[in-house]
Amino acid sequence: QGPELFLSSPSPTSAARPHPRRLDYYTSYRFPRPKAGEMASPAAAAPPTEPERWRDLDMLLSRPGNLVHSTFDPSPGLRDLIGSYVEVLVVGAGGLGCELLKDLALSGFKNLHVIDMDTIDVSNLNRQFLFRIQDVGKPKAEVAAKRVMERVSGVNIVPHFCRIEDKELEFYNQFQIIVLGLDSIEARSYINSVACGFLEYDSDDRPVQETVKPMVDGGTEGFKGHARVIIPGMTPCFECNIWLFPPQVKFPLCTLAETPRTAAHCIEYAHLIKWDEV
Ligand SMILES: [Zn+2]
């Protein structure tokens, strides 16, 4: 009676239900559906009608509040105005990007672009909820755009499957807001320099409103997260307080060169020392 016996002994349900590690688990297994009246199934519920969907947002836009600018002029027509006028760029279509695209679409924004150089990996599926098992290997930007457009009528999302550096600077100038769902400091630095590069000052040294490109930056690590708004010319930019980031974990070079002994050491060894020889 060893551990192997324990591992290989079939459980009573294993014939009907493939192992979670196997690909067909996700594609063929159907979780038992609740019987009628047992539990409300969100999939079976009718989709919200258009007025229902926008009810709360319209209420927000049609009354004043103490969190809005003094020039804010509440009106029920604002949603249409914002939707047709404002173009928003979402940078990254990963864990944050999926949420951002859905939230922006459900906030009435109709002209969205999304840029991401990645393709979908099976390990993304637990949190990047716009993707399915059959999407593995496809570009994130394209699948995310398609999924949101299927669910929210009237929204147009243009996907860009490329690196952020591949785009001309003028590409970024067409947007009124840039929203970042990135996982690296370098990428944030790049977008920050592009957005701040558009900023112009008038003869009184005040930022010219039309050249101000606001950025909304978000980030997650484990269970922690942050969000902030960067308005070039008015708030500190990304580069101004880059020192607030915790220092990146580094290893002494001698350890890497002589005795790489952990998995992290080996990866750094390959990256720093052996990479150029490949
Ligand atoms: Zn700055």
Same domain, 177 and 225: yes
**pLDDT at residue 204 in the model:** 95
Residue at 162 is within a domain: yes
**pLDDT at residue 250 in the model:** 65
Longest C-alpha distance within the chain, in Å? 86
Same domain, 148 and 277: no
CA atoms within 13 A on the CB side of 121: 6
Same domain, 79 and 187: yes
**pLDDT at residue 183 in the model:** 85
**pLDDT at residue 215 in the model:** 97
Distance 237 CA to ligand 1 centre (A): 4
Same domain, 140 and 274: no
Distance 236 CA to ligand 1 centre (A): 5
Distance 248 CA to ligand 1 centre (A): 21
Same domain, 91 and 131: yes
Residue with tokens 């008015």: 234
Same domain, 278 and 227: no
pLDDT of 200-232, one tens digit each?
A: 999 999 999 999 999 999 998 778 888 999 999
Low-confidence residues of the chain: pLDDT under 70? 1-47, 247-252, 254
Distance 93 CA to ligand 1 centre (A): 26
Residue at 209 is within a domain: yes
For residues 101 and 117, what is the distance between their CA atoms, to the nearest angstrom? 16
Indicate which residue of 196, 237, 254, 266 is catalytic: 254
**pLDDT at residue 105 in the model:** 95
Residue at 1 is within a domain: no
Same domain, 273 and 179: no
Residue at 65 is within a domain: yes
For residues 47 and 66, what is the distance between their CA atoms, to the nearest angstrom? 33
**pLDDT at residue 10 in the model:** 46
Same domain, 255 and 131: no
Query: If we measure between CA atoms, which residue out of 203, 204, 191 comes closest to residue 232?
Result: 191
Residue at 39 is within a domain: no
Same domain, 214 and 260: no
Same domain, 175 and 253: no
**pLDDT at residue 18 in the model:** 53
**pLDDT at residue 268 in the model:** 84
pLDDT of 69-83, one tens digit each?
A: 888 889 888 888 888
DSSP the chain: --HHHHHHSPPTTTTTS--TTSHHHHHH--PPPPPTTTS--TTTSPPPPHHHHHHHHHHHHTS--TTS-TT----TTHHHHHHHH-EEEEE--SHHHHHHHHHHHTTT--EEEEE---B--GGGTTT-TT--GGGTTSBHHHHHHHHHHHHSTT-EEEEE-S-GGGS-HHHHHT-SEEEEE-S-HHHHHHHHHHHHHT--B-TTS-B-GGG---EEEEEEETTEEEEEEE-TTTS--TTTTGGGSPPPP---HHHHHH---SHHHHHHHIIIIIGGG-
**pLDDT at residue 33 in the model:** 64
Residue at 133 is within a domain: yes
Could you tell me the residue range of the domain that residue 221 belongs to? Answer: 56-244
Provide the 10 A C-beta neighbour count for residue 148: 21
**pLDDT at residue 278 in the model:** 79
For residues 211 and 200, what is the distance between their CA atoms, to the nearest angstrom? 6
Mark whether 254 is an active-site residue: yes
| 8 A C-beta contact, residue 100 and residue 75 | no
Supply the CATH number for residue 150's domain.
3.40.50.720
Same domain, 70 and 198: yes
Q: State the total domains in the chain.
A: 2
For residues 199 and 269, what is the distance between their CA atoms, to the nearest angstrom? 42
Distance 215 CA to ligand 1 centre (A): 13
Q: Which two tokens stand for residue 257?
A: 């060169």
Residue 177 — left, alpha, or beta (φ > 0 → left; ψ -120 to 50 → alpha)?
Answer: beta
| Cβ neighbours for 145, distance < 8 A, ≥ 6 positions apart | 93, 101, 112, 114, 157, 158, 159
Same domain, 258 and 183: no
For residues 22 and 26, what is the distance between their CA atoms, to the nearest angstrom? 8
**pLDDT at residue 4 in the model:** 43
Residue at 240 is within a domain: yes
Q: What is the pTM of this model?
A: 0.73
Residue at 74 is within a domain: yes
